Structure 1
Amino acid sequence: MISQWFRSVVKSLTVYKFEDLQIATENFSQYNRIKVSTVYKGSLKGDNIAIKVMQGDVFSEINILQKINHSNILKLSGFCGHDSKTYLVYEWAENGSLSDWLHSKQHQTSITLQWNQRVQIAYDVANAMNYLHKYTTTPYIHKNLKTSNILLDANFRAKISNFGLARSVDKCDQSELQWTWNVVGNPGYMAPEYSKNGVVTPKLDIFALGVVILELLSGRDAATGGTSEDDLLSGFITGVLEGVGNTREKLRGFIDPSLRNEYPLDLAFSMAQLARNCVDYDLNARPSMSELFITLLKILQLSDWYPYDSMSISSGR
């Protein structure tokens, strides 16, 4: 069974020699290590690559990635097995994670993502997720969508990564409920039906993308989760959408100050309302990914007519 799987994988992916990966990463030096992760930057035949070092069962992630092909999903080019470890070789995303750009002090004090870039990123993510939910041979739920798993290429186009928790769903009936006892993920992005009862549906990804949109709007970090008043989700709903006062003006106080009011408030309000629908407590009240995708496309097209700062980012870090 495994040998048959291996033969099919070899047809679509490159099997790298461990020695070549050692050379590419300068023997997996700390200099080439990306933050505190198990991912290393390397250079192979003149091209930059990312190498993810993994232990345990990686068949599922490889099996998914070898079957999918989308410009907004990080491409797996090959792998290597050595000393009970598997080395997954991916394309390199020059501008790192969305989380870094939204939350890192380095970027907050210098350059920032502009309005149009943020809408484009949200659209790119929805595009990739819509592909996973509707247009792959076997539909998939990502289950681990968050800003640290959204990478940005040289043109600041988004690429989804980390499919270790992804699960396939029935193409004929995606509304059918699945359950799991093994609830894994970041609390800040978990839909309530999943975190409390282990219910798994495509609406998990809808909820997580709603949280990502709130992060794009506010610049705040949802990864801390929790139930405090400072929590991103509860703060948005109670502080912006509920209570007395002008909702649009309250939204201004929620928007990332690094945007310096250089954004169309009406479109920001549309984005906020969309995010609110995505994070609805009732999973059946959330939009489908295709509906989310179409709405973001409209907001992106309208944003192109908005004259924003010409100093928007055009190069890497």
Structure 2
Amino acid sequence: MAGADVRDAVASLTVYEYGELERATAGFAEEHRIGNSSVYRAVINGEVAAVKRVAGDVGAEVTVLGRVSHSCLVRLSGLCVNRGDTYLVFELAENGALSEWLHADGGADGDVGRALSWRQRMQVAFDVAGGLNYLHNYTIPPYVHKNLKRSNVLLDAHLRAKVSNFGMARAGGGAQMTEHVVGTQGYLAPEYLEHGLIGPQLDVFAFGVVLLELLSGKEAAPARDGEDGGGESGKAILLWEEAEVLVVDGEEARGRVAAFMDARLRGDYPMEVALSMVALALRCVAREPRARPLMGEAFLTLSALHSSALDWTTDELGTSAVPPRRIGDA
């Protein structure tokens, strides 16, 4: 790590000895590992924390996290450098990544206990929008996260969402170009894939995909049914492309949207709000960047929808939930 920005960021952090983190994680024991990640649960001075082991340069992530402070962004509190690896100490998100709560096998009869309710999904969407709105509009300089996806959205003990993993973040609110296109299939905007264009609308697009995942319970880029994902025949079907056939007004809207919604919700959501959520998601994943809302506008829309979710009760469900019919069915 080098540079004045990194030094300034490190000055605000606790610098740990490797031995402290080794003891805090029981020697980075497997039982302390969180999922299949390089993150370990730790207890430091009686407080739980997450320790992430990173190989290579972490200057960009440390610089960003040293400059930002928001309840919907994961908080970096300290670090340690040992034998070429860097260990970053974060607040612990006790409920893991959003990816662990979506896409469970079994559909409506699957892991219902781990499924997020409608209100919880609305809260996650609201939190992620708040974090991105802060990055785009309330930091100096503004930042583009550039790597938003379900595994980079963490859930705390109260299932409040926190955006994480800022290793690819870029400073600057204007458009930039790159020849080095990296990221996760299914979340990358067309203009980035085709032209290497980076800007705030890149995050808006990825946010739209996360919204679609929250609504449908589907993955951003699942393999074709019955295929192993190898070769051209196994080319992934992108969720945002599938969702483009949805309509949010007219007689067909309710049936199509109900068919798209996660079966694990069991129809327990207000259809009018679901239609508005789908409409927002489709605007966010518009192929043309200029057709997408700014993150501030998306956040304001989510604020109103989130308020309606807090007021909504299952007694108001009525006939809002149409029996599921998969998209493409006659």
TM-score w.r.t. structure 2 length? 0.86
Verify: 1:275 aligned to 2:281, yes or no: yes
Q: Report what 1:109 is aligned to.
A: 111
- SS of equivalent to 2:112: coil
C-alpha separation in 2, matches of 1:209 and 1:82: 35
Which residue does 2:147 correspond to in 1?
Answer: 144
CA contact (8 A) 2:221 2:236 kept: no
Show structure 1 runs of 5+ residues with no match.
Answer: 310-317
* More divergent stretch after superposition (55-64 vs 221-230): 221-230
Match of residue 231, structure 1, among 216, 231, 238: 238
The residue identity in structure 1 corresponding to 2:112 is S
Match of 2:305 among 287, 296, 299: 299
In structure 2, runs of 5+ residues without a counterpart are 225-233, 316-330
State how far apart, in whole Å, the 1-side matches of 2:253 and 2:36 are. Answer: 40
In 2, Cα distance between equivalents of 1:199 and 1:129: 18
Could you tell me how far 1:303 is from its partner in structure 2? 1.3
The Cα of 1:241 is off from its aligned counterpart by 2.7
Determine the structure 1 residue equivalent to 2:227: none
Say whether residues 1:75 and 2:107 are aligned partners.
Answer: no
Distance 2:168 2:257 in 1: 34
Provide the C-alpha distance between the structure 1 equivalents of 2:138 and 2:177, rounded to a whole number of angstroms. 23
Distance 1:282 1:130, change over 3 A: same
Partner of residue 314, structure 1: none
Aligned to 1:181, the other structure's residue is in SS state coil
Say which SS state the counterpart of residue 50 (structure 1) adopts. strand
Partner of 2:56: 56
3-state secondary structure, aligned to 2:68: coil
CA distance 1:223–1:76, shift in 2 (3 Å): farther
- Please tell me whether the aligned partners of residues 14 and 78 of structure 1 are also in contact (alpha carbons under 8 angstroms): yes
- State the SS of the aligned residue for 2:79: strand
Answer yes or no: is the 8 Å Cα contact 2:146–2:168 preserved in 1.
yes
Query: What is the DSSP-based 3-state SS (H/G/I as helix, E as strand, rest coil) of the residue aligned with 1:280?
Result: coil
Task: Report the Cα distance in structure 2 between the residues aligned to 1:150 and 1:281, rounded to whole angstroms.
Answer: 24
Contact map agreement 2:222 2:237 (CA 8 A) in 1 = no
Q: Deviations over 1:14-54 (max 9, x none)?
A: 00110010001111111111222211111111211111111
Residue 129 of structure 2 is aligned to residue 126 of structure 1: yes
Per-residue deviation, 1:231: 3.1
C-alpha spacing 1:85/1:133, structure 2 compared with 1 (3 Å): same
CA gap of 1:14–1:308, structure 2 versus 1, over 3 A, is farther
RMSD between aligned residues: 2.3
Structure 2 vs 1, CA of residues 6 and 277 (structure 1 numbering), >3 Å: closer, same or farther? closer
Question: 2: distance between equivalents of 1:180 and 1:94?
Answer: 36
Measure how far apart 1:69 and its partner are. Answer: 0.3
Distance 2:303 2:95 in 1: 23
Once the two structures are TM-superposed, the CA of residue 245 in structure 1 deviates from its matched residue by: 6.2
Take 2:4 and 2:240, find their aligned partners in 1: how far apart are those partners?
Answer: 46
TM-score by length of 1: 0.90
Q: Give SS of 1:66's match.
A: helix
